[in-house]
Homo-oligomer: A and B are copies of this chain.
């Protein structure tokens, strides 16, 4: 079974059976392929007697997005597996446990999280997750700090960076986030009713200038090992637990890119409340929850990150008076810019979010899209100026309540 081939369900069972200390020998196992087949096979293997289950995730040698298919490196399975193992070493409660990784088969065997739901769905259902901000703030603080030059031996960091050169998946980000939305690209997916707003994006040279700054940071700023795709579809959640999955985009990049992914997807859902909230009161309440969460995510991140820096900083020079504040201010500014870029691309770019696209009422959907674009572009414009998370919150409030005539 060593040469790569996509596994059948029977082969997946056979494979799982070989892993030591997982299932009772000879026990009955069942398998269900539960992936969407676009990028990976995902088998859930269950032991009938105990009910114990695991996930076997195998990379496919191609990607299918919106009908197109292109070859994609199997090395992303190694990257995902190695990133998960590094993350587990830092925040064991916040990622699925990895039981095994098979390089030849591009396959990772990991903890089954089917008692959780995908957070994007949870937000669309307007659930509240009071522990999420603490969890994700701690996840990002620990994974970003301890893989960076602030918290990791700087020679070991370079060697680790060499293992996370991830050109193919970075290319997807570079095109879909930092290029295509700002020109009339074939890959874009734009609803007719917001074509005017898209065209405005394409002709706004001041915005292009700010996007160039963000693109350059993504390409060159090797601050920390990023998750690289930390949207709410990469988070499994239930009220008392948060698990970050799917780090196949992991690479050394600017920390604000991960933080921005979380904030952007919270704010996209905020915009989507145009279509999801049944009445004005419940919309206001859920939006207030989301905005508080945006603020709390940053606050928990910052508090954790500063504490790690003070207690576990490996670098004498970075203890210079004022430098930590300067670093955090720059990080918030990067976060603002990346948040905006990630919002814009979800409205006019190739891959959208269900929080907005699944709104059936097209007038409400259009309001949500325009609101997301207004907030996103304002965040991009703020990327070199913003000085506090409250200023970012104020942008959301202003764009939704005042400028665009929407009721918060």
Spell out A's residues near B (CB within 8 Å): 148-149, 154-156, 158-159, 161-162, 165-168, 170-171, 174, 178-179, 182-183, 205, 208-209, 211-213, 215-216, 219-223, 315-318, 320-323, 326-327
**Number of copies of this protein chain within its complex:** 2
Q: Is the CB of A321 within 8 A of B220?
A: no
Q: Which of B149, B162, B219 is within 8 Å of A149, CB to CB?
A: B219
Q: Is the CB of B174 within 8 A of A154?
A: yes
Given contacts A149-B220, A183-B316, A317-B208, contact A213 B326 (CB under 8 A): yes
Q: Is the CB of A154 within 8 A of B182?
A: no
- Which B residue's beta carbon lies closest to that of A149? B219
- Which B residue's beta carbon lies closest to that of A327? B216
Q: What chain B residues lie within 8 Å of A154 (beta carbons)? A: 167, 170-171, 174, 219
Q: Is the CB of A221 within 8 A of B219?
A: no
Q: Is the CB of B326 within 8 A of A209?
A: yes
Given contacts A149-B220, A209-B322, A209-B326, contact A317 B182 (CB under 8 A): yes
Instruction: Say how far A378's CB is from chain B's closest CB, in angstroms.
Output: 18
Given contacts A212-B317, A220-B149, A323-B213, contact A159 B167 (CB under 8 A): yes
- Which B residue's beta carbon lies closest to that of A221? B220
- Which B residue's beta carbon lies closest to that of A223? B220
- Which B residue's beta carbon lies closest to that of A174? B154
Given contacts A149-B216, A220-B222, A223-B220, contact A320 B158 (CB under 8 A): no
> A323 vs B182: C-alpha distance in the bound complex, in angstroms?
15
A-B contact pairs, 19 of them (CB 8 A): A149-B219, A154-B219, A158-B166, A158-B167, A158-B170, A159-B167, A162-B165, A178-B317, A205-B321, A208-B321, A209-B320, A209-B326, A211-B317, A212-B318, A212-B323, A213-B323, A216-B327, A220-B221, A222-B222
Q: Is the CB of A158 within 8 A of B165?
A: yes
Of A182, A222, A320, which is in contact with the most chain B CB atoms at under 10 Å from its CB? Answer: A320
Q: What chain B residues lie within 8 Å of A320 (beta carbons)? A: 205, 208-209, 211-212
Q: Is the CB of B318 within 8 A of A215?
A: yes
Given contacts A178-B317, A221-B221, 9 further A-B contacts (CB under 8 A): A148-B220, A154-B174, A154-B219, A155-B167, A155-B170, A159-B165, A208-B317, A208-B321, A215-B317
Instruction: Say how far A167's CB is from chain B's closest CB, in angstroms.
Output: 4
> A392 vs B205: C-alpha distance in the bound complex, in angstroms?
31
Instruction: Say how far A17's CB is from chain B's closest CB, in angstroms.
Output: 37
- Which B residue's beta carbon lies closest to that of A148? B220
Q: Is the CB of B165 within 8 A of A323?
A: no
Q: Is the CB of A216 within 8 A of B179?
A: no
Q: What chain B residues lie within 8 Å of A183 (beta carbons)? A: 316
Q: What chain B residues lie within 8 Å of A182 (beta carbons)? A: 317
Q: Which of B165, B179, B215, B318 is within 8 Å of A161, CB to CB?
A: B165
Given contacts A155-B171, A219-B149, contact A209 B318 (CB under 8 A): no
Instruction: Say how far A187's CB is from chain B's closest CB, in angstroms.
Output: 14
> A14 vs B189: C-alpha distance in the bound complex, in angstroms?
66
Instruction: Say how far A170's CB is from chain B's closest CB, in angstroms.
Output: 7
